[in-house]
Amino acid sequence: MALTTLIKALPKAELHLHIEGTLSPALMWELAQKHGIKLPFSSVCEIETAYQFSDLQSFLDLYYAGADVLRSEEDFYQLMQAYLQRCKEHNIVHTEIMFDPQTHTHRGVPFDVFMTGFVRAIDEAQEEWGVSVRLIMSFLRHLSEADAITTLQDAEPWYDIIDAVGLDSSELGNPPEKFERVFNQARTLGFKVVAHAGEEGPPDYIWQAINLLNIDRIDHGVRCAEDKELMALIKHRQIPLTVCPLSNLKLKVIEDMATHNILELLEDGLLVTVNSDDPTYFGGFLNDNFAVLESALGMNEQQCRQLVKNSFMASFLDDTEKQAWIQKVDAI
Ligand code: ADE
Ligand code: ZN
């Protein structure tokens, strides 16, 4: 079987996906028309052409501006519904989805509006084809810790359907230590915790995420390779890294896909996984991220299978569910 066919055929988990990063230019355009919002673009095509970034911040500026078209419950429903439809096409059977409440609450869109829309789409997709979904509430690290604490409190009516908290947005200058207290509170409340670290930020931010935030997983983490002691710890503890190849290329974390270190990390025995991050902004959903590993790095079948099995191992599913999916992967 050709590797691209195998990638499609294997059931997969996606663990690093921002729902706001799945807003397509077409939906952005449609919602702007619906709400009478004036975009700084004159066509869908112009939005697509604007998706060229020089670094993380240049992307975030556009990403937060784009999210402004999301206003009503129906908008959030449509956004989630479209991503879950992609999951079906890409054979993503389990997905752990990040959402950024502050991106919406700061524009006057309350929790009830986006959560109700998300949940309606998730319930429908679960009923239709059985996809399994977990939600990760991410705090914006360019805002204060006090704001994150308020957000954690405001989310209380939704605690039952939120599995984890995360940390995203502008990494440089906003180290994990800034959020030690709110992560402690979240852990005490029983949430799993993840954090973006070592995307643009130095290995020290990964150390902080591990030692101060007690994270269960690192989002990105590719810069761990600069610190041998850190690599050894991540390997020893099998702390998962949710790596996003196309994102790293688009945001210039790497210059060329041929220099991406994901397969080296895998061969060194780290629990690395493949993910799409913000697929409509970075030019590809999950299977496209796998495909580029074959075309640019020569990923072989064994590595591909290991990455897919890692996606379940690194997930928040329970052990029985993990083993059941891994057996299914082995049977294909
Ligand atoms: N928010 C959405 N995508 C992100 C990324 N790659 N890094 C940090 N924050 C983000
Ligand atoms: Zn991300």
How far is ligand 2, taken at its centre, from the CA of residue 250, in Å?
Answer: 13
Which ligand does the CA of 62 lie closest to? 1
Which ligand does the CA of 60 lie closest to? 1
How far is ligand 2, taken at its centre, from the CA of residue 247, in Å?
Answer: 8
Instruction: State the burial class of residue 128 (Cβ atoms within 10 Å of its Cβ: 0-12, 13-18, 19+).
Output: exposed
Phi, psi of 71 (to 5 degrees): -125, -40
Q: What is the pTM of this model?
A: 0.98
Q: Is the CB of 250 under 6 A from ligand 1?
A: no
Contact present, 66 and 28 (Cβ < 8 Å): yes
In a mutational test of the pocket of ligand 1, which residue from 17, 136, 137, 169 has the highest number of ligand atoms less than 8 Å from its CB?
Answer: 169
Contact present, 250 and 59 (Cβ < 8 Å): yes
pLDDT 10s digit of each residue in the chain, 332 long? 899 999 999 999 999 999 999 999 999 999 999 999 999 999 999 999 999 999 999 999 999 999 999 999 999 999 999 999 999 999 999 999 999 999 999 999 999 999 999 999 999 999 999 999 999 999 999 999 999 999 999 999 999 999 999 999 999 999 999 999 999 999 999 999 999 999 999 999 999 999 999 999 999 999 999 999 999 999 999 999 999 999 999 999 999 999 999 999 999 999 999 999 999 999 999 999 999 999 999 999 999 999 999 999 999 999 999 999 999 999 99
CA distance 17 to 137: 12
CA distance 118 to 120: 6
Phi, psi of 194 (to 5 degrees): -135, 160
Q: Is the CB of 20 under 6 A from ligand 1?
A: no
Q: Is the CB of 16 under 6 A from ligand 1?
A: no
In this predicted structure, what is the pLDDT of residue 309?
98
Instruction: State the burial class of residue 296 (Cβ atoms within 10 Å of its Cβ: 0-12, 13-18, 19+).
Output: middle
Which ligand does the CA of 171 lie closest to? 1
Pick the CATH number of 3-331 from 3.10.450.50, 3.40.50.1360, 3.20.20.140, 2.30.40.10: 3.20.20.140
Contact present, 166 and 98 (Cβ < 8 Å): yes
The ranges assigned to domains in the chain are: 3-331
In a mutational test of the pocket of ligand 1, which residue from 19, 56, 249, 275 has the highest number of ligand atoms less than 8 Å from its CB?
Answer: 56
In this predicted structure, what is the pLDDT of residue 231?
98
Q: Is the CB of 100 under 6 A from ligand 1?
A: no
Contact present, 198 and 227 (Cβ < 8 Å): no
How far is ligand 1, taken at its centre, from the CA of residue 95, in Å?
Answer: 17
Q: Is the CB of 199 under 6 A from ligand 1?
A: yes
Q: List the strands of the sheet with 12-18, edge to edge.
A: 12-18, 92-99, 132-140, 164-168, 192-197, 217-220, 241-243, 272-274
How far is ligand 2, taken at its centre, from the CA of residue 61, in Å?
Answer: 14
DSSP-derived secondary structure letter, 181: H
H helices within the chain, ranges in order?
3-9, 25-35, 44-50, 56-67, 73-90, 101-105, 111-129, 145-154, 180-188, 203-211, 228-237, 245-250, 262-267, 279-282, 286-297, 301-313, 319-330
CA distance 202 to 193: 20
In this predicted structure, what is the pLDDT of residue 1?
86
Contact present, 79 and 73 (Cβ < 8 Å): no
